[in-house]
Amino acid sequence: MKTRVAMFAGLAFSTTPTAALLLSSTLVLGAMRQNARAMLVFTLTTMFLWSSTAAAADRPSVLVNPHVRGNGTATTIQEAIEKVDPGGKVMVLPGTYEETLRIDKGLTLEAVGGESGEVIVAPPGAPNAAILVTADAAVTIRGLAVNFGGAHGILGAGAVDLTIEQAVVTAVNPPLGMSWLIQVMNDASASGARAKFAVHESFLDGALHNPAFPFPQSYGISAEGDVDAVLGQNVIRRTGAACVRVLARPDGQGETNVDITGNDLDECYPFARVAAIIVSPSTPLAPGLTGNGTVNIVSNTIRNTTESCRTTNAIHYELFTGRIERNRILGVVQECATPLAGRTLPAAIWVGSLRGAPPTSPVVRFNDIVSNAHAGLRVAPNINNPIDATCNWWGSVSGPSEIGSGTGDAMVVEPGAAAPAFAPWASASIAETDETTCTGGN
């Protein structure tokens, strides 16, 4: 029977499978008494060494351990990515890995070790991307921390199928100019397929603290072009541009479908003075822009706790169709917010376009729109059909001001636009309830 090699704490033992099992148990028990992390390293290393000898060419799993070389383990993450079978799993032990990663095949890249420490990808210098994903097969990145000083933390290019879960992505001394903590962009006319993109339960930090102009134009999450995306339950802070951005394809064609749900956004400092969440065409607008797609913005909390003047809108919805529902937009737009010529005017929610995009028609319901200067909802001149803006809480039982006769946040209709239907409105906070009816104004 073939011998197998088990390694623990720098020692090597040549064993039969039965002896290896007994030895594994004995050593694990000893490690439990001494060091929980050592136990984890031993258990994972033994498991991976055992499987690696079965068939050298088959590697459904590869362990990354910077302290153990060879015999089925890798000392760098990129080495493991290259070794693992397509569709396999790369499991990374805690440590700081000073490398860039390129993922060109389907796999799961996962941090292991729990409370024993973080897995941090921290490439030196300012590479274009700390992690570049180009595979069209499914890639999952789970539990990693990414510290980057270049243009991208995680970049998905082309028809990727990328899921990011429980990640921490942090900009480190971000450069002036445009950068992205996480970005996926795809043109199906070139790639031949649609991209799939999900970010869940992650923390993104642009590392800008109420910055003075000029400052880095750093986006949080950006989904661009022919993509189907779900961006949910993330916390995004201190960006130098929109915390979340959705863009149509540069040629104005294609289809973009995105759900932005349950995120917590604050300290979004838009360099160009637009919004915390931007849904728009690419700039400049392409001739024949279609606006095909659905973008839903649901159950997010958007704040501006530093009372920055740069946030002209909490939500800038210029293109596509969809739902803006059950969001809490709390004191985002300040009195000092100023119009952005040819682009937008101050409002918690801006719907429509000043630069020739096709009319959009989102449903705006069940939101808490409170303590925003200038306007809670502002409708652009190109909106020629009334949008449904009923059952929103405007911060007052009397409803919205301006177009309405109440004292809550204002509803403003620009000349030429159709007035939204806004009655009945909610007579109390509604965003975090299950209410689907309201009585204000009846």
| Residue extents of the structural domains in the chain | 1-58, 66-159+169-196+208-220, 242-442
- Note the pLDDT tens digit of each residue in 309-331: 999 999 999 999 999 999 999 99
Residues 6+ apart with CB under 8 A from 291: 248, 281, 319, 320, 321, 357, 358, 360
| pLDDT cut 70: percent of the chain above it | 87
Cβ 302 vs Cβ 265: under 8 Å:
yes
At a CB cut-off of 8 Å and minimum separation 6, what does 433 contact?
A: none
**CA nearest to 72, candidates 86, 58, 124, 292:** 58
Residues 6+ apart with CB under 8 A from 218: 171, 174, 178, 179, 180, 181, 206, 208, 239, 240, 241
Distances, alpha carbon 338 to alpha carbons 99, 231, 281, in Å: 43, 29, 22
**Looking at residue 442, what is its pLDDT?**
65
pTM over 0.85: yes
Residue 420: pLDDT over 50: yes
The two most distant CA atoms of the chain are separated, in Å, by: 87
- How many helices and strands (H and E) does the chain possess? 4, 36
Residue 388's pLDDT band (cuts 50, 70, 90): very high
111 vs 39, which has greater pLDDT? 111
pLDDT level of residue 410 (50, 70, 90 thresholds) = very high
